[in-house]
Structure 1
Amino acid sequence: MAGNDQAACADGPDFGPLAIEARGLVKRFDGVTAVDGVDLTVPRGAVYGILGPNGAGKTTTLRMLLGIIDPDRGYRRILGADRPHDVAHAIGYLPEERGLYPAMKAVDAIAFVGALRGLPLKEGRRRGRELLEQHGLGYAADRQIRQLSKGMAQQVQILGTLVHKPRLVIFDEPFSGLDALNQGKLERMMHGLAQDGTTVIFSTHVIAHAERLCDEVAIIAGGKVPFAGPVDVARDRIPAQVRLETRAQDGPWRAALPADARHEGSFWFFSLPDTGIEPLLRALIEGEAGILSLSIERAGLHDAFVAIAGEAAARALEQEKPEELRR
């Protein structure tokens, strides 16, 4: 869904290498701690995911970053500003609760959302028509929102989030309610925005989206962030797994296998040794194990999430996953 209309970012001074920096964010509601000491550092131009089950504190964290609510403790700096409202014109925000006026035409809805960020209505309508054409919805420009399907209305709201050419875009559960085709379009749009220098932050409870899209993730559970950083670093929390098939069933080569090696059928399974695979390969060859196959599989983000956030948080994610992704 990326287009040339988003290539230029909103005017403003350079804000350095970080789009967002937050330290020790705490928020309580009626005595209940929803967010408990969250730290986030989001590089400029990154696609950054906030991953966790519903109720983990994702939406509250995003709202504090945006200045919709203030933290009880901690601070946040967004696009170089200590007060989020000072840079609101340079931010696009898609809330989890979707909402457009049903009687508005699609093009007017896009222009209206842009006007909330300081874009003149006339320019918003012009850009809105261009965006709708670019994304195959030109025929719907003058239709009322109530005449559109749920998925089409959500696409209109996404385009409204981008019409003022923001430097930072924050999506709260953006894939909810989209079919597979439009989810793919949204993923491509996010990549396109990042390539153009726009920082993209999105919350999700679907690990597959975070693993495909993100440069970095913050894993959040119970209002805390036990991990924030590159996806690869999260996956490296779990050693890569080796699957080995040998012709010989026994021999001196077996002494070279790691202590966690287990034998299932004709295969051996074990963690990749810290020394790498080469010393083990030499021992297997010299010991005449007769290697039939050997593969190394790196841990996925799901396994990393379980290791970092715990089984209960992982089960909660699985229960919230769309049915088509559970199959």
Structure 2
Amino acid sequence: MLEIDGIGKRFGQVQALHDVTFAVPPGEIFGFVGSNGAGKTTTMRIVLGVLEADVGEVRWKDAPIDAEIRRRIGYMPEERGLYPKMKVGDQLEYLARLHGVSPAAARSAVEHWTTRLGIAERRSDEVQKLSLGNQQRVQLSAALVHDPEVLVLDEPFSGLDPTAVEVMSGVLRDKADSGVPVIFSSHQLDLVERLCDRVGIISGGRMVAVGTVLELRGGSTEQLDVVGPPPERWAAGLPGITVVSVEGARTRVELTDGATDQDVLAAALTAGPVHEFGRYRPPLTELYRDVVTAGVTA
């Protein structure tokens, strides 16, 4: 288990991290989300030892992270950390060797990951001659060539086309299925919602929510979507509901004071045909906005 335990970090007068705590068990994909400057990259750099926490500790398998453990972590920084004039294949093999991989195993790993990520034909090209999307694929290959025990990825999907996103998503799912804990940051919340087992939301250097999307929805009020007659014909006199929004024929209502979904359906049917009816499940984008807003106003 990768454990981030109460870490704090100050830069001059700015307290960048406040008691940040969460854990990523083996086989889990953990989405780390927050606005620019919220503390995601600082946290990841502390995990990798690029920065040192002022307080708190990072542990892997109950042991504090040291230089030897860091060699077993696959890290992908948001800023590309590649040698622009070095050939792709040579660079990946070199990086694998830095992690202690034998020459033969390094060559095999380079062949495997460049093929898997769709850049096998670019192994002889200099990195600077690749598109930004292909450079991103090389960067992910660099995080994988030494068969890491942990993956820490900062904005890995940035600049990728939909096909590349699917390929990279499949790689991360496969690594997690093999028992590797995966943590990645992203501003693409729809992708985080689809891919991650759990999500951590950081705001102002504080972890304001951690859990599955279902758990994050647990604090939401119950809402229903009704596609049918206009709400003025059935909702106005119905106790225990509040109309949240009306978009065309779709009315969203919030249940309060003991009202049930069957009460809403029965009332709507008395006013005309109902074409769609069901619970509204807020997406991660909406949950994120609500959680961050609540943290700011608290």
Structure 2-normalised TM-score?
Answer: 0.86
Q: 1:210-253 deviations in whole A, cap 9, x for unaligned?
A: 112111111011111110111211123222421233599668x9
Structure 2 residue aligned with 1:310: 293
CA distance in 1, matches of 2:213, 2:61: 23
- Contact map agreement 2:240 2:257 (CA 8 A) in 1: no
CA distance in 2, matches of 1:208, 1:113: 32
- Structure 2 residue 179 is matched with structure 1 residue 197: yes
- Contact map agreement 2:113 2:144 (CA 8 A) in 1: no
* Residue 163 to residue 262, structure 1, CA distance change in 2 (3 Å): closer
- Structure 2 residue 94 is matched with structure 1 residue 103: no
* Residue 268 to residue 126, structure 1, CA distance change in 2 (3 Å): closer
Structure 1 residue aligned with 2:41: 59
1:80 Cα deviation after fit: 2.9
Q: 1:257-307 deviations in whole A, cap 9, x for unaligned?
A: 42423685766531245868455268649x945552423221111111111
* Residue 257 to residue 111, structure 1, CA distance change in 2 (3 Å): farther
Q: Secondary structure at the match of 1:310?
A: helix
Q: Secondary structure at the match of 2:202?
A: strand
CA RMSD of the aligned region, Å?
2.9
Deviates more, 1:223-232 or 1:84-93: 84-93
- Contact map agreement 2:241 2:255 (CA 8 A) in 1: no
Q: 1:158 aligns with which of 131, 140, 147?
A: 140
Deviation beyond 6 Å, 4+ runs, structure 1? none
How many percent of aligned residue pairs carry the same amino acid? Answer: 32
Q: Secondary structure at the match of 2:288?
A: helix
- Contact map agreement 2:199 2:212 (CA 8 A) in 1: yes
1:79 Cα deviation after fit: 3.4
- Contact map agreement 2:193 2:284 (CA 8 A) in 1: yes
Q: 2:56 aligns with which of 51, 74, 97?
A: 74
CA distance in 1, matches of 2:21, 2:101: 32
* Residue 43 to residue 288, structure 1, CA distance change in 2 (3 Å): same
Q: 2:204 aligns with which of 222, 231, 254?
A: 222
Q: Secondary structure at the match of 1:260?
A: strand
CA distance in 2, matches of 1:263, 1:47: 34
- Structure 2 residue 280 is matched with structure 1 residue 297: yes
Structure 1-normalised TM-score?
Answer: 0.79
- Contact map agreement 1:91 1:169 (CA 8 A) in 2: yes
CA distance in 2, matches of 1:65, 1:308: 25
- Contact map agreement 1:47 1:215 (CA 8 A) in 2: yes
- Structure 2 residue 170 is matched with structure 1 residue 188: yes
Residue identity matched to 2:86 = M
Structure 2, unmatched stretches of 5+, are: none
CA distance in 2, matches of 1:178, 1:63: 23
Q: 1:260 aligns with which of 242, 247, 266?
A: 242
